[in-house]
Amino acid sequence: MNRKQLLKTLAMPIALAAICVYFALKQPAFLSPRNFTQLLVQFSIIGTLALGMFMILLTGQIDLSVGSGVGLIGGITAVLVTEHAWSAPAAMLVAFAAALLLWSLMGTLIVKERIPSFIITLGGLLIFRGLFWFVIHSVTIQVKGAQENLYSQITTYYLPVNAGLVLALILAVAVGFLQWRARAARATHGLPVPTTARAFGRFVVTAGGIFLVTVLCNNFNGLPVTLLILTATALTVYVLTQHTPFGRYLYAIGGNEEAASLSGINVDRVLIGAYLLMGAATALTGFMQTSFQGSSGASVGELMELDAIAACVIGGTALKGGRGTVWGVLFGTLIMTTLLNGMGLDGVLPEKKLIARGVVLVLAVWLDVRLGRD
């Protein structure tokens, strides 16, 4: 590994460590189990949306509507539960289906009418925000104390200690299996693979991280259920992008759409599928974000599309498509979430938060472009 590759590999971990040290010195509560658990809840919310955005960006497309979509889907569920006395599962199911329908329609417009995704999703941003305000009657709909209280508990329920440890063990085994399978597949096709020692070391670090997170959360109330949602989403996206033809098609289309089409890939179907999955991620995020805020108000979801895009770019996903990893997206999300959490704990003014988020995004893109040059 040359100097440039080493710097590119270590830049983001160093940045995360610097952010953590800075806020830990300014606010000792930053390292408390309570704040760590709250950080994980925020991480899960942004990470779920970023994973949906990741699949869109892989194809060289973009989606600017997801922030408004988060508000709209969360608002539909809140209104059905609180004003129409629907059960929370039924309301969430209807809202989820609405998200799939809306994003399928956007994907179809983009591929069938050959309209740039920037324009269609920008229109979606405005339309969904207007529909959101219409659905909630431009007032704040409380979800605390909702029927069955299930909707509000999405971000307030924690797994018992023993259940969390068992789940951590299962997850560590699953991750190890996926790493072994990926290594075996590369070896079968004659591709370079890491040494056994390095592969085992990667597994040990990953498993250790999983158990460390579990132990820290157990020192507060246990593993938050939102982290389970993110984990399931991440594993699903990882399997889709790394172990299925659909995932290979996403990378191929992002690398060269014309060549992908000539090679027999149904580009239109894959793009619509990517937007359909984006709709699913938006719905899950809408449920979590509204529950986290305790209400569905006019500002829910604002600028979340930018946080999702920033998390992907910081994690190494190319805006032009064809490059990126699930782990990179999660790491980029962790940097963004840690920054937001630390600034919130430190009482940083909203305008300064916006500036900091913009600076981090620009620096990440600049570093990626700079180190990516020959």
pLDDT in tens, 175-226: 888 888 878 877 777 778 778 788 888 888 888 888 888 888 888 888 899 9
Are 308 and 53 in contact by the 8 Å Cβ rule? The answer is yes
Cα–Cα dist 290/279, whole Å: 16
Amino acid, single-letter form, for residue 168: A
How far out from the chain centre does Cα 228 lie?
13
CATH 1.10.3470.10 fits 36-157+224-302, yes or no: yes
pLDDT in tens, 114-155: 999 999 999 999 999 999 999 999 899 988 654 445 777 888
Mean pLDDT value of segment 92-96: 96
Indicate if the pLDDT at residue 1 is higher than 60. no
**Is the sign of the CA dihedral 135, 137, 140, 145 positive or negative?**
negative
Mean pLDDT value of segment 221-250: 92
Dihedral pair phi/psi, residue 139, rounded to 5° = -125, 170
Percent of the chain topping pLDDT 70? 94
| Residues sharing a CB contact under 8 Å with residue 93, sequence separation 6 or more, in sequence order | none
> Measuring CA to CA, which residue among 307, 265, 285, 282 is closest to residue 103?
282
**With 0-12 CB in 10 A as exposed, 13-18 as middle and 19+ as buried, what is 61?**
buried
**Is the sign of the CA dihedral 127, 132, 138, 140 positive or negative?**
negative
Q: What average pLDDT does the structure give for the chain?
A: 88
Q: What pLDDT does residue 146 have?
A: 45
When pLDDT is cut at 50, 70 and 90, the band that residue 318 belongs to is: confident
Indicate if the pLDDT at residue 103 is higher than 80. yes
Angle between helices 66-82 and 304-314 (to 10 degrees): 130
Helix (H, G, I), strand (E, B) or coil at 201: helix
Indicate if the pLDDT at residue 238 is higher than 60. yes
**With 0-12 CB in 10 A as exposed, 13-18 as middle and 19+ as buried, what is 191?**
exposed
Cα–Cα dist 281/275, whole Å: 10
Q: Which of the two residues, 102 and 18, has the higher pLDDT score?
A: 102
When pLDDT is cut at 50, 70 and 90, the band that residue 5 belongs to is: low
**With 0-12 CB in 10 A as exposed, 13-18 as middle and 19+ as buried, what is 116?**
exposed
**Strand-pair partners of 142:** 295
DSSP conformation letters of 301-314: TTTHHHHHHHHHHH
Q: What pLDDT does residue 374 have?
A: 44
**Strand-pair partners of 158:** 224
Cα–Cα dist 360/314, whole Å: 8
Mean pLDDT value of segment 9-15: 78
Mean pLDDT value of segment 249-274: 92
Domain residue spans in the chain?
36-157+224-302
Q: What pLDDT does residue 216 have?
A: 86
